[in-house]
Copies of this chain bind each other. A is one copy, B any other.
Amino acid sequence: MSLTFERFSADTSGGRLGRLTTPHGEVLTPMFMPVGTRASVKGMPPFLLDAAGATIVLSNTFHLGLRPGSGLIRNLGGLHQFMGWKRPILTDSGGFQVFSLKGLRRVSEEGIAFRSPVDGAEIFLSPERSVEIQEELGVDIAMALDELVPGDAPRAVMEAAMERTTRWARRCKTAKKRESTAIFGIVQGGMEEDLRARSAADLNQLDLEGYAAGGFSVGEKKETFRRMAAYTASLMPQGKPRYLMGVGTPLDLVEASGWGYDLFDCVLPTRNARNGYLFTSAGPVIIKNAEHIREESALDGACPCWGCRHVSRAYLNHLYRADDPTGLVLNTLHNLTFYLGLMARIRTAIGEGTLPALRVEIAAAYEKVEGGEVGR
């Protein structure tokens, strides 16, 4: 079987409640996907992801393809079995990581040539190879390989990359062999509305199983991001899942759910947890700060995670200062519980038509949080 998506309802603001059904189970949407780059969400074995409320995770074609290799993972029964995670997995195509290599890559119509940062070997990532790797991993959702360009690239460069991304998406669809791995296309086009519109229209023609919005969090202004990301969602088919890549802050998630996106991923909750930056219902808490050294209260009295129910801010401060890995575990478990709890609140609010009120609440706590990290 492959992927199905049911849309239950849309509130008046554009938010959608849905259910994504995959070979590895269901995902209620809108949903946030914790990032498990190297077949692991750092410090979170799958039983802790379950405890946090995760129902789908993102992993990484580029990193797994280099080490330990997708062939090895295939021979061991696929990525789900490899990492002991029984629920759905989405992998990105590798395009973003190769883009980040800068000087080490060479892009042509055929694909992307680069040197492995692991051992220096020459590697060629074509759309076909990207699909092949993701099928070897046996994931539920594979992303089509896209060409990324810098956020400040000239329009002609943007346009050419967008058009190539569409051609590559077609090649990905043609290359697809595995029924149970769905392919999502990625809408590009920078901050130009007409390019976004053309990208979406051309990709829609390919009748892919889902669509993603790429090319955000590349340095654009927040208002530009809001306008373009919302516009891009409106270009996507109603009946298919929509994924906003690499986003975002708590406020981004509330807003983008209102624009009609269904899936999100970001390193913010996990990476920030490791840096002692914790998300709470009252706003961010920098747990290493001296104000927490003697603080008896819980990190977040409204949070159901183990740490919030059992230990004080003083203890989390102590663990951070002692560089104790228990702190990493508790902080990550907390931040993911917060993010996934927020997604549950978003779904409830969409169902009840109260998303604008939730936006006001989250904006009060998180308006100033930029943290526009790209989640891959």
Q: Identify the A interface with B (CB < 8 A).
A: 38-47, 67-68, 72, 75-77, 82-84, 293-294, 296, 306-307, 310-312, 314-315, 317-319, 321-322, 324-330
- Cα–Cα distance between A76 and B295 once the two chains are bound (Å): 8
Known A42-B326, A44-B326; 8 more pairs at CB < 8 Å: A38-B318, A40-B326, A67-B318, A68-B314, A76-B312, A76-B314, A83-B311, A84-B315
| Partner pick for A38 among B72, B311, B314, B322, CB 8 A cutoff | B322
| Smallest beta-carbon distance A41→chain B, Å | 7
A306 touches B40 (CB 8 A): no
A329 and B43 contacting across the interface, CB-CB below 8 Å: yes
Could you give 20 example pairs across A and B, Cβ below 8 Å?
A38-B322, A40-B319, A43-B43, A43-B325, A43-B328, A43-B329, A45-B306, A45-B307, A45-B329, A45-B330, A67-B318, A68-B293, A68-B314, A72-B294, A72-B314, A82-B311, A82-B314, A82-B318, A83-B315, A84-B310
Distance from A308 Cβ to chain B, minimum over Cβ atoms (Å):
11
| Chain B residues, Cβ within 8 Å of A46 | 310
**Do A324 and B38 touch across chains, with their CB atoms under 8 A apart?**
yes
Assess whether B294 is in contact with A43, with CB atoms less than 8 Å apart. no
Q: Which are the 4 A-B pairs with shortest beta-carbon distances?
A: A84-B310, A43-B325, A40-B326, A84-B311
Q: In the complex, A363→B17 CA distance in Å?
A: 60
CA distance A217 to B293 in the complex (A): 36
A161 to chain B, nearest CB (A): 31
